[in-house]
């Protein structure tokens, strides 16, 4: 059976982007039907209208509230349709790009992608896998100043995706050749 891959690129750069190149190689390695989402196509920030619509029970939403959630519903639909998420993430100023944070805000919805329980939040999008492809200029992935990889692993788990792999091309400004070789070796070792 062919798997469906949701390929997300968060780099502001289209040309010369390490994460775009490595995430494309990852998608090719995993092989499957691909849904592609480029986050540089400016996702909106959530606002009061969106928040009010989100917390209004579905059956009570006005047409304007339903419209406010349309993009969020579409983004969540892409995740639900996927078996694997491949997310290309450059680390900007020690964290994730604002475009990726906007995507996270739009897809983290109580009652849709996670539920509150007596034991805390429970992710609802189980049975999926995520491969996070990170590139950094100077930050070592997993170090105390890496605020991206742990955050993304947590967000994936928060929505129910606990099978998360990190592919890191870190510290590219120190030794790009070594960083890319390490990341390419990780991609080559991925199980389809």
Binding residues for FMN: 11
Beta strand pairing call for 33-38 and 120-123: unpaired
Binding residues, as ranges, are 11
Give burial (CB, 10 Å; 0-12/13-18/19+) of 154. Answer: exposed
> 3-state DSSP helix/strand/coil percent for the chain, to nearest 5?
40, 25, 35
Q: Which of 128, 127, 89 is nearest to 5 (CA)?
A: 128
CA–CA distance, 155 with 160 (Å, rounded to integer): 9
Would you say the C-alpha torsion 24, 26, 31, 37 has a positive or negative sign? negative
Q: Which of 4, 172, 7 is nearest to 83 (CA)?
A: 4
């Amino acid at each position: 059976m062919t798997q469906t891959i949701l390929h997300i690129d968060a780099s502001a750069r289209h040309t010369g982007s390490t994460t775009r190149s490595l995430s494309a190689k990852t998608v090719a390695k995993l092989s499957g039907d691909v849904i592609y989402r480029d986050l540089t196509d400016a996702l909106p920030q959530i606002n009061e209208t969106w928040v009010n619509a989100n917390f209004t029970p579905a059956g009570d939403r006005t047409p304007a509230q339903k419209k406010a959630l349309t993009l969020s519903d579409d983004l969540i639909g892409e995740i639900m349709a996927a078996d694997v998420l491949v997310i290309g993430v450059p680390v900007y100023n020690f964290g994730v790009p604002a475009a990726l944070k906007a995507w996270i805000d739009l897809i983290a919805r109580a009652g849709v992608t996670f539920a509150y329980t007596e034991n805390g939040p429970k992710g609802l999008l189980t049975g999926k896998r995520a491969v996070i492809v990170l590139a950094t200029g100077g930050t070592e992935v997993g170090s105390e100043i890496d605020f991206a990889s742990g955050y993304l692993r947590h967000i994936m788990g928060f929505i129910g995706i606990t099978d998360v792999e990190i592919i890191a091309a870190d510290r590219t400004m120190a030794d790009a050749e070594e960083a890319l070789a390490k990341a390419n070796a990780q991609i080559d070792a991925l199980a389809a």
